[in-house]
Amino acid sequence: MAVPSVPPVHPELVPYLTSLPPFADPYADIAATRARFDALLAALPADRSGVRSKRYVLPRPDGSALTVEVYHPDPGAEAGDGAPLPAVLHFHGGGYALGRSLPGEDRTAIALCRGLPAVTVAVEYRLAPEHRYPAGVEDCYLALEWTAAHAAELGIDPERIALHGKSAGGGLTAAVSLMARDRGGPAPVHQSMCIPDLDDRVADEPVPDGTADGPPDPRVNSLRTIRLAWRHYLPEGAFTPERRAPDAYAAPARAADLSGLPPAYVLVCDLDPLRDAGLAYARRLMDAGVPVTVRNVPGAWHGFELYAPETGLAREVTDHWTAHLRAALYGRFEPCGGRAAAG
C-alpha cells in the first residue's frame, strides 16, 4: 500500500493547507511578533455590539499591576432575568508569549459574553520570555480570586465561575484549577480546555519530517513552535541534561493527583502534536473521578480555525465546546448557533 504524501487532512481543510505560512521563530524578535499580531487585530476590529467592557487594575503581592478586562452584556441584551450572571475567566493562547488582545477587543471574551451569556473576564497575564513561569499562572490565579471576591460588584453568581482557555490558555486553565484545589481558593464549576498545552515533555519529541512535495504537513510548524514556547516559558536552565521536572502548576500533566478537580471539557485535534497529552490528561481526570467530556477533531491541526474560520467544521467545533460551557453554567445544553468565539 502506498504511503500517503500528506497527513489525513479533513476534506474541508485541504484547500487551506497552502495558506499555512512557512516556519519562523516567533521568539527571534518577540517584540516584532507582537507588533504584527497587534496590527492584524487593529485591521479587523471586533464586533462589540451587545457588549460593554471595563478595565480593572489588580495589585499583585509585589505591588505591580495586573490588568483584566471585564465584559458584560449590554442592558436589554439576552442576559437572563436580572439575576447575577455566571462568569468565565478567559485565558488567551499564544505560547505563553503573545495572544493578548487590544483593550476591549478580545473576540473570544466578547463572543462568550454575548453568546452564553456570561460576564467574561479576560486576563492580561504576564508574558514570556520576559516573565517566565510562574508569573503568568500566578496572574491567572489572582484574577480568579479577585473575580470571586468582587462577584457582587460585578453582577456575578460566585457559585458559577468557569475557566476557559485554548492552547497555552488551556494549560493555564488546568493549572489554575489545580491551584484552586490545593490552595483552598475559589472553586471553579468547570474547566474548558481547548487544544491544551499541558506537558513540557512535548519539547523533547522529535519534529516530524515535512513533505518534500505537495502541501505542507501542519504538524511540523506546530511542534516547532510549541517546543520553543516551553523553552521560553519555563525557568532558565529547565532543559539542561540534568534538569528537574517542573511542578504541576507549570505542566499540569506532571500532577500526581487529579482528584477533586472541577468537571472538564477537553478538545483535541488529530493532527495536533498536543493531542496525545490532552487525551492522556482527560483519561487521568476520568480515572480520578472527575466528569470529563472529550472531543477529538479528525483531520484538523492545532489552531485550524485561525486559517479556516468560515468552514462548517470550525463553526461546528466552536459551537460544541461553547454549548458544553453553557451547559456547565446554566444546567442546560443549548447550542449557540455560531454566536460564540472560535478562539
Task: Write the single-letter amino acid at 167.
Answer: S
Q: Rounded to an integer, what distance in angstroms lies between the CA atom of residue 85 and that of residue 311?
A: 31
Please indicate whether residue 302 is annotated as part of the active site.
yes
Each residue of 299-323: b (16+ CB within 10 Å) or e?
bbbbbbbebbeebebbbebbbbbbb
Cβ atoms of 170 and 195 closer than 8 Å: yes
Label the pairing between strands 51-59 and 190-194.
unpaired
Among candidate residues 167, 177, 192, 222, the one labeled active-site is: 167
Dihedral sign, CA of 16, 127, 40, 166? positive
Give the rounded distance of the alpha carbon of 107 from its chain centre: 13
Give the other-Cβ count within 10 Å of 342's Cβ.
22
Catalytic residue among 157, 197, 199, 272: 272
Active-site annotation holds for 272: yes
Chain CA centroid to CA 74, Å? 25
Catalytic residue selected from 222, 302, 319, 324: 302
Q: Give the burial string for 1-25 (b: 16+ CB within 10 Å, else e).
A: eeeeeebebbeebeebbeebeeeee
Kindly state the helix (H) or strand (E) to which residue 125 belongs, with its residue range: none
**DSSP letter string, 316-340:** HHHHHHHHHHHHHHHSS----TT-S
Catalytic residue set? 167, 272, 302
